[in-house]
Structure 1
Amino acid sequence: MTSRSRAPIIAHVDMDAFYVEAELLDKPELRGEKIIVAGEGRSVVLSASYEARRDGVRSAIPLSRARQLSPTAIVIPPQMHRYRELSARIMAYFDTLTHLKEQLSVDEAFLDLTGARRRLGDPEQMGQLIREGIRAEVGLPATVGIADRKFIAKIASTRAKPDGLLVVPPAARIKFLHSLPASALWGVGAKTNEVLAGMGLRTVQQIAEMPREILAKKLGAVGEHLHDLAWGHDPRGVEPVREEKSIGAEETFAEDIRSTEALRRELLRLSHKVAGRLRSSGLQASGLSMKIRWRDFTTLTRSAVLRHPSQSGPELHAAAVRLLEKLGDRPQPVRLIGVRAEKLSRSDGSLQLSFDAHDDDWLAAQRASDAVSGKFPGAAVQPASLLDAEKPQENPDSG
């Protein structure tokens, strides 16, 4: 067996403008138009067609800003249930190709196809098969990058967009990497890129040629990691079971909120939502963070360690309220608020012993409400204090 045949074959599959393309399945007459998928009111852009992207529209920017950049764009409200259904079909198709699948999001996954050579052909044939298979299964375009390293496959798919295929053979790995700008490497965000530019490093090749110890002195462990990547060193393989690192939910208000009571009530709703997701995933949290965004888009995040691992809505809420109170007087009205459970671990299913039996009563009640919601999906079991509260506009959060 040659070294070439032993090389890993890793594909990164990324759907092209997934939400937009999903909408075009039902609205083909809009193809070629500038399209933005976003909620009503004070929401952010979830996806934009390539026609709208040429105007500068990008995911996660405020819808108001997107309308300024592309005033003739058509705004379509999201249908999250539709996107989840299409995603499930795509991921199920991947399972027919390999059992080594690492799903990154609803529209993105790594596939280890090393053991499928005889069945699926060479990497080029594999890539074409994947793209054609997705087209046949759901009618959507996808871009595929294939290499013997995960991060190179990811870079390749980014370079091949939209609706393309790029295979980087092992023998071409270094040449491919060294042709790229420094910003192409994993872990090079705006701040790191600025530091690298200050060192005169604007390409991956320049990072590779810089002594490792100098990069380490300037950037610490990040510098060493970038030096490894610049030479194609990355031992990470495809991980079929991906543990969630955090679970969160957030809301953007239709109108800026000044009322502390309204914010506390919204934190209660979000805390119960996050706690429900923890319980359904069999997880518990040892930490919690609260995110708050002022009217001028300044965003703060504050974190706390919980007194014990928890999946209880009231406990998460109490911690979130303490973080809110620690902020003191708020300089501006609040545009967005969020809760995120962190430092997750597996729950053994037992009730947490504590000095306050009320905690266990709450958790038992919440598990009972989970059972009701599971049996009757339309039922909304929630704290009584939320029943009369008007629900703000929700931002989908993949967590």
Structure 2
Amino acid sequence: MTRKILHVDMDAFYASVEQRDNPDYKGRPVIVGGPPDSRGVVCAASYEARKFGVRSAMPCSQAARLCPSGIFVTPRFEAYRKVSSRIREIFLEYTDLVEMLSLDEAFLDVTENKKNIPYASQVAKEIREKIFEETRLTASAGVSINKFLAKVATDQNKPDGMTIVRPDQVEKFIESLDVGVFPGIGKVTLKKMHALGIRNGKDLKDKSLEMLDQSFGKSGRWFYAVCRGLDDRPVEPYRERKSLGAESTFPKDLENSEEILRELADIAEELERRLLKKPFPGKTITLKVKFSDFTQKTRSLTEDYTYIDKNELYRIGSKLLGEFLLGSGKSVFPIRLLGLSLSHPESSSKITTVNTEEEDDLFPSLF
């Protein structure tokens, strides 16, 4: 049976809640985050602010320079959680197979739905209408045969839009996509893909499994599958996230500490972006290092606080990386992969080192 999967994403959720609750903010550039003169980062930006180039995870000081007229608002997570709870209740009116990815985003499997609606597009239409009716907020949706396609489809017609990718449209749809819109491909991976001549779905599909595996590690197998429209991941209603991470496999092994630290900074920035999208209360930071001979080490540090921005992630990551760097400015051995992750703590203020040649589940390799 062909599955019917929806991906529903609220439009500029935090900022839209603020505009709804404060009439004076309507139609104006709202930036949810720390004060403009702080070291904080942007949690969300209204579409009016995005026109100035303001984006999530951007330093608030930079957002203030780009958008001098921006209205900076302190996040009200309790208010966002309340709205999110009601939206989830709407989802559950149609199916119990609801996988909440964050407060403002979810997958739904409506292959068999509670209202016996034959068309997934009609289910998505009703859900979006009901969300607006009850919350006065807009949502965008993607409709297709699997998670990957549904999620990518959502972003094709935002805000307040819906995109349907039917089975007979899958190949053409994927081949025309810029690889930069593939979920999980951040700046670091995108840079590597461009260097390899991969710019759209067709370019990716033309690459062999062996080549992608060598260039991107276990993520290569994922790229090989999804560019062919293959994704059999189920919608998991009760999934409990145990960690959140990001990693990067380099096109060539790195020895120079300056290059290694520069890559670590990019990974820390990517992990911060994911934390803003999918908040995770992890206190343990783990650095993963894989060397040119494929041996692997991980080193962890547990702190007493849960939210860490990219600067803090980089600071602690570089501290953990220190044991692998020589005073001469080189790595002990050439490094082919670096990763950073957050997980739940086992104990406080503890540093541990683990040596392993197997992949671990702390690093979802971009997914």
Is the Cα contact below 8 Å between 1:292 and 1:299 reproduced in 2? no
- Counterpart Cα distance in 2 of 1:199 and 1:21: 39
Shift of 1:299: 4.0
- The equivalent residue for 2:84 is 87
Q: 2:14 aligns with which of 19, 26, 38?
A: 19
2:177 equivalent to 1:177: no
2:154 equivalent to 1:123: no
2:240 equivalent to 1:243: yes
Shift of 1:210: 1.9
Shift of 1:247: 8.4
- The equivalent residue for 1:67 is 64
What fraction of aligned residue pairs are identical, expressed as a percent? 36
- Counterpart Cα distance in 1 of 2:19 and 2:221: 44
Shift of 1:134: 0.6
Cα 1:62–1:310 shift into 2, 3 Å? closer
- Counterpart Cα distance in 2 of 1:247 and 1:211: 29
Deviations 1:5-32 (A, max 9, x none): x311110010001011111222123211
**For this pair of structures, how many residues does the alignment match?**
278
Paired AA for residue 64 in structure 1: S
- Counterpart Cα distance in 2 of 1:160 and 1:293: 30
- Counterpart Cα distance in 1 of 2:188 and 2:119: 39
Paired AA for residue 68 in structure 2: P
Shift of 1:76: 1.7
- Counterpart Cα distance in 2 of 1:219 and 1:247: 19
Tell me the C-alpha RMSD between the 2 structures: 3.1
- Counterpart Cα distance in 1 of 2:134 and 2:344: 41
Is the Cα contact below 8 Å between 1:45 and 1:58 reproduced in 2? yes
Shift of 1:311: 6.7
2:159 equivalent to 1:159: no
Is the Cα contact below 8 Å between 1:144 and 1:157 reproduced in 2? yes
2:31 equivalent to 1:36: yes
- The equivalent residue for 2:73 is 76
- Counterpart Cα distance in 2 of 1:165 and 1:151: 15
- The equivalent residue for 1:211 is 208
Deviations 1:28-78 (A, max 9, x none): 232111111123443211111111111110111111111000001111222
- The equivalent residue for 2:350 is 319
Cα 1:240–1:292 shift into 2, 3 Å? closer
Specify the SS of the correspondent of 2:236.
coil
Which TM-score applies when normalising by structure 2?
0.68
- The equivalent residue for 2:131 is 134
> Higher helix share goes to which structure?
1
Is the Cα contact below 8 Å between 1:134 and 1:142 reproduced in 2? yes
Specify the SS of the correspondent of 2:69.
coil
- The equivalent residue for 1:9 is 4
- Counterpart Cα distance in 1 of 2:82 and 2:309: 31
- Counterpart Cα distance in 1 of 2:207 and 2:155: 26
Deviations 1:287-333 (A, max 9, x none): 654568669x95442679xxxx9977xx31x317x99xxxxxxxxxx
Shift of 1:224: 2.3
- Counterpart Cα distance in 2 of 1:274 and 1:183: 28
Q: 2:217 aligns with which of 217, 220, 234?
A: 220
Specify the SS of the correspondent of 1:116.
coil
Shift of 1:220: 3.0
Specify the SS of the correspondent of 2:188.
helix
Cα 1:86–1:153 shift into 2, 3 Å? same
Consecutive unaligned residues of structure 1, counting only runs of 5 or more, are 1-5, 249-272, 276-285, 324-341, 344-399
Is the Cα contact below 8 Å between 1:143 and 1:157 reproduced in 2? yes
Shift of 1:118: 6.0
Shift of 1:83: 0.7
- Counterpart Cα distance in 2 of 1:310 and 1:96: 33
Cα 1:156–1:222 shift into 2, 3 Å? same
Consecutive unaligned residues of structure 2, counting only runs of 5 or more, are 246-280, 284-298, 322-342, 354-360, 363-367
- Counterpart Cα distance in 2 of 1:105 and 1:17: 13
Paired AA for residue 23 in structure 2: P
Paired AA for residue 82 in structure 1: A
Cα 1:191–1:26 shift into 2, 3 Å? closer
- The equivalent residue for 2:144 is 147
Shift of 1:109: 0.5
Is the Cα contact below 8 Å between 2:45 and 2:56 reproduced in 1? yes
- Look at both structures and tell me which one has the larger radius of gyration over its CA atoms: 1
